[in-house]
Structure 1
Amino acid sequence: MANLKQIAAELSLSVTTVSRALKDGPEVHPSTVARVKEVAKRVGYVPNHHGRALKTGQTLTLTAVLPMETHDYLSDLAKLPLIEGMTMAARQAGYSLSIYSTTPDDDPVDSVRRLLQARSADGLIITRMASSDPRVPLLLNEGIPFVAFGRTDLDIAYPYVDIDNEKIAYEATRWLTRKGCRRIALQLLVPNDQASAMRLAGYERAMAETGIRIDPSLIGHGTFTMESSAAWLDHLLGSSNPPTGLACANELGLVGALQALGRRSLVPGRDVHIVTRDSTRLSRFLPAKIGIHSVDMAAVGRKLVDILERRIANPLAPVEEVLLPGEFDPGE
């Protein structure tokens, strides 16, 4: 197997220059980088990550902490593209990705403490951020590189990637009001998490701008699996003043809502207007006239790993904060 010394000898360069060129070091001329990479590809050079780990004390492993949202086996469907994006980005960066899955009953702080004690990863990705999330100051105090998927309301700088859930809910609600809806139901994402708080804020802002009074009974605070969504909406539809618009938390909430409408022979887009957030593109294949906010979760996963990799390489660099929008398709 080819090594750096052989590539350096063939090009009459130093091993240091070859190593820096393979990492796209800014101190190496672009033409030299191209020559080095061409030879490395021709001779089949593969970086010796194991040797680097022994030399630096790194594990070359990144760990993503992914809580199960419910005990329902389909409730975590949206995590699949996220895991795919993280896995591919980690591999390209020379890392392996491990998934540390926790149950809804596990304490999130205890889970992070166990990972810190094990020292089995060079960096952590934490998800499902809560208000005043205690994991953020814990990880900052421990000095381990990490990045969060989501924001918390702590007045602390820390690296994160988040979806603009407030804007998504705001746009969904305004679109429903333009459709003439005055009774708009809102599904939140996960009880007591920061993403749900942002969705609620966007909904409230849109309702206030249009002068529509909010009916608290139309706000769903549960974790919306297909079953719970169907039961919740069916209950609302059976009331004396049912909703005419619905903002779904995700595609599973949408599927449940469509079942509830079908039971009562109601047609989406005619009897009840619907907008959903979709992280898997599932909604595009459903025969229903609905508005869709698409979120590229694979891109989110790649961005999380990219930021974490840079954080590991340079812990003192400026904190990176990324807020990604959803892409709205009114389905008309």
Structure 2
Amino acid sequence: MVNLKQIAAELSLSVTTVSRALKDGPEVHPLTTARVKEVAKRVGYVPNHHGRALKTGRTLTLTAVLPMETRDYLSDLAKLPLVEGMTLAARRAGYSLSIYSTTPDDDPVESVQRLLQAHSADGLIITRLVSGDPRVKLLLDELIPFVAFGKTDLDTAYPYVDIDNEQIAYEATRWLMDKGCRRIALQLLVPEDQASTMRLAGYGRAMAEAGIPIDQSLIGHGMFTMESSAAWFDRLLGSPNPPTGLACANELGLLGALHVLGKRGLAPGSDVHIVTRDSTRLARFLPAKIGVHSVDMAGIGRTLVEVLERRIANPLGPVETILFNGEFDPGE
């Protein structure tokens, strides 16, 4: 690997000058900085983050803990814009982003503990929060800069960025009611996730306002891959009192539901009304009349990194909490 000494020798400069130029030090003439950067790029110079960490205690690395879904080929589709947003924001802030992938069988707390023991990051991004999430307390106790993608029901203040899942589910249910639906099915993800709790709360609020009792048989929990969504919705449509409306958890749940409607010769937007949350903008390319709540996952990724960067710079600063709304398109 090319090091600073080699670049300095080629340009007849001191190692100190080269180092300061690469950091855009104001004491280095702009023309010299440009020459140094040009040579560094040409020879493929990469900063030694490990050595810097030993000297400064900082790694200039941020780590996002992302549970990977292994139940469907496309289950992790929605994570791609999130990762893109985090990556670009980290790079602009002078950090590298590492993704720490976990499987559904991994213990979330043990995964975070392993990261803390490795001292491999200046800050963490945790995702998929559950009720009373113990990772939040662990990171607060250890004084580790972090930000959560999601909320949990703890009394302690902590930084988070989240999606207003309650309002999205409320608006989706009200829209289906405006279409004349009274038998409204609701897809939820795993019950432990706080996002599912908030979706159920929004659905329940809309139903209560309309004076419609909740039928528990219309509420489904699962990962909602295309296959599981299709099987679940097919059972509901085959029941004596089938739903006339459906609020999908995500794009894969939507695709499974549309597959079943096609198989049964039913049309979305006339026989059954559907609204979905869409994190990839996939739904807008489907030739179906459906309501769509689009969520800017790349923007969420950028915001997570920006909040974490500010937390690293000022650990005792204000605790930021940011809520993203869904952008609704009735598809009409």
Gaps of 5+ in 2: 1-6, 8-12, 41-45
**Count, aligned residues:** 311
Q: Secondary structure at the match of 2:75?
A: coil
Distance 1:181 1:241 in 2: 13
Cα offset for 1:312? 1.0
Residue of structure 1 in register with 2:79 after alignment: 79
Cα offset for 1:223? 1.1
Distance 2:106 2:19 in 1: 50
Residue of structure 2 in register with 1:230 after alignment: 230
Is the CA contact 1:49–1:60 (under 8 Å) kept in the aligned structure 2?
no
Residue of structure 2 in register with 1:193 after alignment: 193
Q: Which amino acid aligns with 2:59?
A: T
Within 5 A, what are the aligned runs for 1:63-212?
63-212=63-212
Q: Secondary structure at the match of 1:247?
A: strand
Residue of structure 2 in register with 1:283 after alignment: 283
Matched, 1:18 2:42: no
Q: Secondary structure at the match of 1:18?
A: coil
Q: Which amino acid aligns with 2:71?
A: H
Q: Which amino acid aligns with 1:118?
A: A
Cα offset for 1:322? 0.4
Is the CA contact 1:236–1:242 (under 8 Å) kept in the aligned structure 2?
yes
- TM-score for the superposition, normalised by structure 2: 0.87
- TM-score for the superposition, normalised by structure 1: 0.87
Residue of structure 1 in register with 2:295 after alignment: 295
1:35-91 Cα offsets, whole Å, 9 max, x none, are: x99869855658967475454211111111111234323111100110111111111
Cα offset for 1:226? 0.3
Distance 1:313 1:49 in 2: 22
1:177-226 Cα offsets, whole Å, 9 max, x none, are: 00000000000133311000000000000011111111000001111100
Residue of structure 2 in register with 1:27 after alignment: none
Is the CA contact 1:49–1:94 (under 8 Å) kept in the aligned structure 2?
no
Distance 2:244 2:36 in 1: 62
Gaps of 5+ in 1: 10-14, 20-35
Is the CA contact 1:7–1:39 (under 8 Å) kept in the aligned structure 2?
no
Within 5 A, what are the aligned runs for 1:313-328?
313-328=313-328
Residue of structure 1 in register with 2:3 after alignment: none
Is the CA contact 2:289–2:331 (under 8 Å) kept in the aligned structure 1?
yes
Distance 2:132 2:54 in 1: 38
Distance change (3 Å), C-alpha of 1:249 and 1:38: farther
Is the CA contact 1:65–1:126 (under 8 Å) kept in the aligned structure 2?
yes
Q: Secondary structure at the match of 1:74?
A: coil
Distance 2:20 2:196 in 1: 54
Q: Which amino acid aligns with 2:140?
A: L
Distance 1:101 1:37 in 2: 43
Is the CA contact 1:60–1:121 (under 8 Å) kept in the aligned structure 2?
yes
Distance 2:254 2:125 in 1: 28
- What is the Cα-based RMSD across aligned positions, in Å? 2.5
Cα offset for 1:18? 2.6
Q: Which amino acid aligns with 1:165?
A: N
Distance change (3 Å), C-alpha of 1:270 and 1:318: same
Distance change (3 Å), C-alpha of 1:223 and 1:284: same
